Each structure stands twice: as C-alpha cells, then as structure tokens.
Amino acid sequence: MSNQQKIKDYILENFLFSDDQSALKEDDSFMSKGIVDSTGMLEIIYFLEDEFGVQVAEDEMVPENLDSVNNLVAFLAKKQ
C-alpha cells in the first residue's frame, strides 16, 4: 500500500470515522474542514513517528507539512 493510501486510510478511520474514500480529498485542509483540531494534530504526529519511523521536529509542526494528505505525503518523502 502506498504511503498516500496509508495516510488517507488513517485519517478516514481515526478522524472521519468512515471507510468512504470519497469523504476525503487528498488536498482537503484538515484544519479548515474541521477534520482535526489542535490536539488532534498530536495524534497525526504520533502516527507518523510510529508508522514511518520518522522524528518530527518542533519547527516542522506547521500546516505546510501536516495539514492535508498531500502535505503529509510530501513531508514524509522529504524525511525518508
């Protein structure tokens, strides 16, 4: 399974509580769509660190890296 699919499935299952792939577009902003709140972002960071073995630094915790499936995929590619 691609990273993109893994991340999308994770967001669907853990934040939208759905398996409907059409419920989330890859460039949907988690914050502006109300999918993830400020504390929910911690969950995403845990997920990245546990699932992909990367360390997310303080200054990397910004929307440009974490606020959509596409942003997460790009950030992960950079880190790996």
Partner 1 sequence: MCGLAGIYSKVGQLPYSEEHLAEMIKQLHHRGPDGYGFYTDERIGLSHSRLSIIDLEGGKQPIHNEDQSVWVVFNGEIFNYKELRQHLEALGHQFYTHSDTETIVHLYEQYGDNFVDHLNGQFAIALWDKPKNRLVLVRDRVGIHPLFYTEQGDQLLFASETKAFLPILNNPPQIDPKSLDQVMTFWSTVGARTIFSDIFQVRPGEMLVFEGAKKQSRRYWDWGFPEKGEAFNRSKADLIEELRIRLTSAIEIRLRADVPVGAYLSGGLDSSALTALTKPMIENLNTFSIGFQDEQLDEGEYQNEVIEFLKTQHSYLLCQNDQIAENFNKAVWHAESPILRTAPTPMMMLSNMVRDKQYKVVLTGEGADEIFGGYDIFKEGKIRQFWARNPASKFRPLLLKRLYPYLNLSNSGSGAFLQGFFGQGLDQKNSPFFSHIPRWLTTSGCKQFFSDDLKEQLKDSDPIAEFKAEMPDAIDSWDYFNQAQYVEAKSLLSGYLLCSQGDRMLMANSVEGRFPFLDHNMIEFANSIDPRMKMHVLNEKYILKQAMSGKLPASIVKRFKQPYRAPDAAAFQAGGCPSYVKELLAENEIADSGFFHPKKVQMLVKKVESGRPTSYKDNMAFVGILSTQLLHNQFTKKSNNL
Binding site for partner 1 (CB under 8 A): 13-14, 16-18, 31-32, 34, 36-43, 45-46, 58-63, 66-67
* Smallest gap from residue 19 Cβ to partner 1 (A): 8
Please check whether residue 27 is in contact with residue 70, taking contact to mean a CB–CB distance below 8 angstroms. Answer: yes
Comparing CB distances to partner 1, the nearer of 21 and 32 is: 32
Please check whether residue 39 is in contact with residue 15, taking contact to mean a CB–CB distance below 8 angstroms. Answer: no
C-alpha–C-alpha distance, residues 1 and 28, integer Å: 21
Distance of alpha carbon 31 from the chain centroid = 11
* Smallest gap from residue 37 Cβ to partner 1 (A): 5
* Smallest gap from residue 1 Cβ to partner 1 (A): 19
Comparing CB distances to partner 1, the nearer of 39 and 80 is: 39
Please check whether residue 68 is in contact with residue 61, taking contact to mean a CB–CB distance below 8 angstroms. Answer: no
